[in-house]
Amino acid sequence: MDAILRALGSGADPEDYAGLEFWSDPERVGWLTKQGEYIKTWRRRWFVLKQGKLLWFKESTVSRTSIPRGVIQVGRCLTVKGAEDTLNKPFSFEISTSDGCTMYFIADSDKEKEEWINSIGRCIVQHSRSVTDSEVVDYDSRP
């Protein structure tokens, strides 16, 4: 299980957010209720999306000295989609990885859920594309 969570990039390992000024100009912020990874309780957390990372905190006052409670490397995620049918909870959505690890979240409204899904979806595309582009071999440039 730890290997799966590490692959997802969750947990507050300082290397997961080294050099990231998450307190300044984030792409999106807001309250979400998140299901715990080990104990499946629901907790309300403040989320910050910036530069391919989704971080969460206990408080909404995020500063340079704040320590994230967890981090998801969004570029390693496969999908983000609504999860009302899976969880039977309104305004819920899920983020999943190619290895089958899934995390669940609940927004405060349908509008906020859609905005989070769109923001995270854009982030998945942007950050997975940058990895893919660096791995592309250009066969047309052969001598």
pLDDT digits (tens, 9 = 90+) for 60-73: 999 999 999 999 99
Question: Which residue matches tokens 């909870």?
Answer: 89
pLDDT in tens, 75-130: 889 999 999 999 999 999 999 987 788 999 999 999 999 999 999 999 999 987 65
How much of the chain exceeds pLDDT 70, in percent?
81
User: What is the reported pLDDT for 4?
Assistant: 36
d(Cα 93, Cα 103) in Å, to the nearest integer? Answer: 9
CATH architecture assigned to 2-13+26-134 = Roll (2.30)
User: What is the reported pLDDT for 11?
Assistant: 53
User: What is the reported pLDDT for 129?
Assistant: 60
User: What is the reported pLDDT for 22?
Assistant: 95
User: What is the reported pLDDT for 77?
Assistant: 92
If you average pLDDT over residues 54-58, what whole number do you get?
96
Rounded to the nearest integer, the mean pLDDT of the chain is 85
Question: Which residue matches tokens 């669940």?
Answer: 104
Specify the DSSP class assigned to residue 109. S
**With bands split at pLDDT 50, 70 and 90, how would you rate the model's confidence at 133?**
very low
pLDDT in tens, 35-44: 987 888 999 9
Which position has the higher pLDDT, 45 or 132?
45
Domain layout of the chain by residue ranges: 2-13+26-134
The 42-50 sheet, strands edge to edge:
70-73, 53-57, 42-50, 28-35, 102-106, 92-97, 77-82
